């Protein structure tokens, strides 16, 4: 199969993101995007993760150009509130999953340094300290400040913080699609048709030849990209790709969402997506430049939609929110909220690409947005497709290309599914029937113990591999932050003692505990944190001011 002519069906963020990347990376392609005004887009999806920077790079998008059009703000981390313990017992508590590469300055034991210090000084190194220890920009996020290291002299730079690659975005995904349509796709030759697909015509080998529309058009192409959202009209509907549900592992299947006005923009426009655990799931809080997007993701086994909405409303006026001002203001902004209920379909098609149909975005798969993986799965699919086209430019796409695409995508999404499930598995909560169920009553064991290739994150496995290599294994991705934040420490006296014993006899093991000075290491961290770092952060603008001065110049956020 040679690909010159592409038809994208669907004009949500996936459709326009696909069109923009393909036209920028493969300008020789003849691309048409068709969308229906009869069928709305999903209308949620505002938080991204660091991987989006590869997509931005591929499209050549600069923050100053697109962010003001999409009410975008920066995101340096995901903050988890009340996930670890019963809040009724210990009060509100948080931990972060930051973006970026670990900073090992003054940390001779690399990724084990924190855990060794935590063993020796548990009071000084509680679980929430781990992300800060390796990513000091987390402390900046907690103080609601923002910087771009490269703009400043070395003495004003936060260790290890690379603004370009360590920040993702909060954005209005609908406006992002619109920006790509108006500023990239249409000016660069993507044809746009507003119509509704009603049927397809296939050739004798089962390849789609053309799409037939309500308006009477017959649209032919070499490759058809399904961006029709959860409907998956082409990939599942026409090509019959098997949908593998993840509901056996992920329990949340519903959401109720709304938008909040800012009451105190300087304090509420944080650079972290805050995920706050409630009685039967968790709430996302995503500060955009003009408003806050928020929603309660819950399990319908434990809450009806009405109960969930009532609990969500309680939360929105509670002290767990960043706004803690007068109750009349909290209630007044709540009154203006409209609530939308959404069903969540967790899972993925086993084959994302069949013959000449590729599914991108919700049409292909979705996992609950606890780690903001929605748009990520969209741009991961786009980048894989684009890379395949680069490899095969002018040549034929073969079944091997398609199989490779399908294998890597399905493997990746299964990995994310397991990663998300660990946010619940590792919790200590048991204060509601839901939390009791996800931590005590529900068995993940078949998925974890029957060691599937994608499950690399099992706790003891991490401990041993990190100890053996004394290096951070990139395969573990964010797992180490979730484990540490949930209070797990892979080390104990037996493991450390045995390691040190072996080190004495085997000089090739780099981690010689005999030479490690715990006091010195602890002191180095607190000197930096309470001295140099504090001074830098004190001088920085708030995230809101930073955006107003550097990105949204002259743009109103009303
Ligand atoms: C509760 C929830 C929370 C989420 N939170 C996040 C988050 O925080 N971060 C994140 O990155 N992602 C999140 N997502 C995912 C995100 O919303 C989606 O990945 C993103 O919006 C892309 O959607 P889409 O374009 O694939 O589908 P949609 O937005 O559903 O678009 C489908 C398109 O197909 C068109 N269409 C359908 N049928 C036809 C037809 N017959 N003919 C022509 N056109 C047709 C429609 O008109 C529409 O244009 C969330 C999703 C949910 C459900």
For atom 6 of ligand 1, the residue with the nearest CA is: 45
- Of the candidates 350, 348, 354, the residue with the CA atom closest to the CA atom of residue 402: 354
DSSP β-ladder status, 353-354 and 357-359: antiparallel
- Of the candidates 339, 56, 32, the residue with the CA atom closest to the CA atom of residue 197: 32
For atom 53 of ligand 1, the residue with the nearest CA is: 344
CA dist 556 and 558 (Å) reads 6
Query: 255 CB less than 6 Å from ligand 1?
Result: yes
For atom 38 of ligand 1, the residue with the nearest CA is: 228
Query: 280 CB less than 6 Å from ligand 1?
Result: no
Closest atom of ligand 1 relative to the 198 alpha carbon: 41
CA dist 265 and 366 (Å) reads 32
Query: 177 CB less than 6 Å from ligand 1?
Result: no
Q: What is the pLDDT along the chain (558 residues), one digit of tens a residue?
A: 899 999 999 999 999 999 999 999 999 999 999 999 999 888 777 999 888 999 999 999 999 999 999 999 999 999 999 999 999 999 999 999 998 888 989 988 887 889 889 999 999 999 999 999 999 999 999 999 998 877 777 778 899 888 888 899 999 999 999 999 999 999 999 999 999 999 999 999 999 999 999 999 999 999 999 999 999 999 999 999 999 998 888 899 999 999 999 999 999 999 999 999 999 999 999 999 999 999 999 999 999 999 999 999 999 999 999 999 999 999 999 999 999 999 998 899 999 999 999 999 999 999 999 988 888 889 999 999 999 999 988 789 999 999 999 999 998 888 888 888 889 988 999 999 999 999 987 766 444 444 443 334 444 555 555 555 544 444 456 878 888 999 988 888 887 787 777 766 665 545 555 678 999 999 999 999 999 999 999 999 999 999 999 999 866 544
Q: 375: CA distance to ligand 1 center in Å?
A: 9
Give the pair of three-digit tokens for residue 55: 């997509």
CA dist 502 and 492 (Å) reads 16
CA dist 204 and 261 (Å) reads 55
- Kindly provide the b/e burial profile for residues 515-548, where b requires at least 16 CB atoms within 10 angstroms of the residue's own CB: ebeeeebbeebeebbeebbeebbeebbbbbebbb
- Of the candidates 15, 24, 338, the residue with the CA atom closest to the CA atom of residue 176: 15
Query: 365 CB less than 6 Å from ligand 1?
Result: no
Burial of 326 by CB count in 10 Å (0-12 exposed, 13-18 middle, 19+ buried)? exposed
Output the pLDDT for position 500: 74
Closest atom of ligand 1 relative to the 177 alpha carbon: 25
Query: 13 CB less than 6 Å from ligand 1?
Result: yes
Query: 44 CB less than 6 Å from ligand 1?
Result: yes
Give the pair of three-digit tokens for residue 265: 């923009």
Q: 379: CA distance to ligand 1 center in Å?
A: 13
- Of the candidates 374, 375, 380, 384, the residue with the CA atom closest to the CA atom of residue 404: 384
CA dist 328 and 366 (Å) reads 38
Output the pLDDT for position 473: 45
Query: 235 CB less than 6 Å from ligand 1?
Result: no
Query: 212 CB less than 6 Å from ligand 1?
Result: no
Q: 204: CA distance to ligand 1 center in Å?
A: 32
Domain 5-73+170-247+345-420 sits in CATH at 3.50.50.60
Output the pLDDT for position 452: 45
Own/partner long-range contacts of 452-461 (Cβ < 8 Å, ≥24 apart): 452/414, 453/411, 454/411, 454/414, 454/415, 454/418, 455/415, 455/418, 456/415, 457/418, 457/419, 457/422, 459/426, 459/483, 459/488, 459/490, 460/490
Q: What is the DSSP code string of 120-167?
A: H-TTTS-TTHHHHHH-THHHHHHTTB---GGGS-GGGPPTT--HHHH-
Query: 233 CB less than 6 Å from ligand 1?
Result: yes
Neighbours of 144 (CB within 10 A): 21
Structural Rg of the chain based on CA atoms: 24
Neighbours of 220 (CB within 10 A): 13
Is there a contact between 19 and 2 (Cβ–Cβ < 8 Å)?
Answer: no
Residues labelled as active-site residues? 75
Output the pLDDT for position 256: 97
Query: 47 CB less than 6 Å from ligand 1?
Result: yes
Q: 103: CA distance to ligand 1 center in Å?
A: 36
For atom 35 of ligand 1, the residue with the nearest CA is: 10
- Of the candidates 233, 174, 171, 169, the residue with the CA atom closest to the CA atom of residue 12: 174
Output the pLDDT for position 462: 57
Best mutation site among 43, 44, 377 for ligand 1 pocket (most ligand atoms within 8 Å of CB) = 44
Output the pLDDT for position 558: 45
CA dist 204 and 419 (Å) reads 42
Give the pair of three-digit tokens for residue 467: 């100890």
Closest atom of ligand 1 relative to the 13 alpha carbon: 25
Closest atom of ligand 1 relative to the 173 alpha carbon: 21
Ordered strands of the 347-349 beta sheet: 243-245, 347-349, 365-366
CA dist 270 and 457 (Å) reads 30
């Amino acid at each position: 199969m040679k690909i010159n002519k592409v038809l994208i069906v669907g004009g949500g963020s996936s459709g326009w993101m696909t069109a923009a990347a393909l036209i920028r990376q493969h300008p020789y392609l003849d691309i048409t995007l068709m969308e229906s005004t009869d069928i709305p887009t999903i209308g949620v999806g505002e938080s991204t993760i660091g991987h989006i920077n590869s997509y931005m790079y591929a499209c050549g998008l600069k923050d100053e150009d697109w962010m003001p059009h999409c009410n975008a703000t920066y995101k340096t981390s995901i903050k988890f509130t009340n996930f670890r313990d019963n809040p009724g017992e210990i009060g509100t508590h948080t931990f972060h999953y930051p973006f970026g590469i670990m900073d090992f300055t003054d940390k001779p034991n690399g990724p084990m340094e924190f855990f060794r210090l935590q063993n020796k000084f548990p009071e000084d190194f509680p679980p929430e300290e781990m992300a800060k220890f390796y990513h000091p920009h987390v402390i900046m996020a907690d103080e609601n400040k923002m910087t771009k290291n490269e703009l400043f002299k070395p003495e004003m730079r936060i260790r290890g913080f690379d603004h370009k690659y360590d920040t993702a975005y909060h954005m209005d995904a609908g406006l992002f699609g619109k920006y790509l349509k108006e500023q990239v796709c249409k000016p660069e030759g993507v044809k746009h048709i507003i119509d509704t697909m009603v049927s397809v015509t296939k050739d004798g080998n089962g390849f789609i030849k053309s799409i037939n529309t309500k308006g009477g058009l017959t649209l032919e192409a070499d490759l058809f990209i399904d961006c029709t959202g959860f409907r998956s009209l082409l990939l599942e509907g026409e090509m019959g790709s098997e949908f593998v549900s993840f509901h056996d592992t992920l329990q949340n299947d519903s959401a109720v969402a709304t938008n909040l006005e800012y009451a105190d923009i300087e304090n509420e426009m944080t650079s972290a997506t805050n995920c706050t655990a409630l009685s039967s799931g968790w709430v996302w809080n995503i500060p955009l430049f003009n408003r806050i997007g928020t929603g309660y993701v819950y399990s319908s086994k434990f809450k009806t939609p009405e109960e969930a909405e009532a609990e969500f409303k309680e939360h929105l006026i509670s002290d767990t929110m960043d706004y803690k001002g007068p109750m009349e203001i909290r209630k007044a902004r709540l009154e203006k909220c409209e609530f939308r209920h959404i069903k969540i379909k967790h899972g993925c098609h086993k084959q994302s690409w069949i013959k000449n149909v590729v599914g991108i975005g919700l049409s292909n798969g979705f996992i609950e947005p606890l780690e903001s993986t929605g748009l990520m799965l969209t741009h991961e699919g786009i980048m894989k497709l684009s890379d395949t086209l680069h490899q095969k430019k002018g040549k034929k796409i073969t079944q091997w290309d398609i199989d490779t695409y399908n294998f890597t995508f399905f493997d990746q999404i299964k990995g994310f599914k397991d990663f998300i499930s660990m946010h619940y598995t590792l919790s200590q909560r048991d204060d509601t029937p839901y939390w009791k169920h996800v931590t005590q009553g529900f068995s993940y064991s078949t998925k974890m113990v029957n060691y599937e290739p994608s499950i690399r994150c099992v706790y003891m496995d991490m401990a041993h591999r990190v100890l053996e290599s004394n290096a951070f294994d990139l395969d573990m991705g964010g797992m180490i932050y979730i484990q540490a934040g949930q209070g797990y420490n892979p080390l104990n006296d037996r493991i450390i003692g045995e390691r040190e014993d072996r080190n004495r006899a085997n000089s090739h093991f780099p981690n010689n505990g005999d030479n490690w000075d715990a006091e010195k290491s602890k002191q180095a961290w607190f000197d930096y944190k309470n001295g140099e770092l504090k001074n830098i952060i004190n001088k920085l603008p708030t995230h809101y001011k930073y955006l107003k001065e550097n990105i949204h110049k002259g743009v109103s956020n009303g």
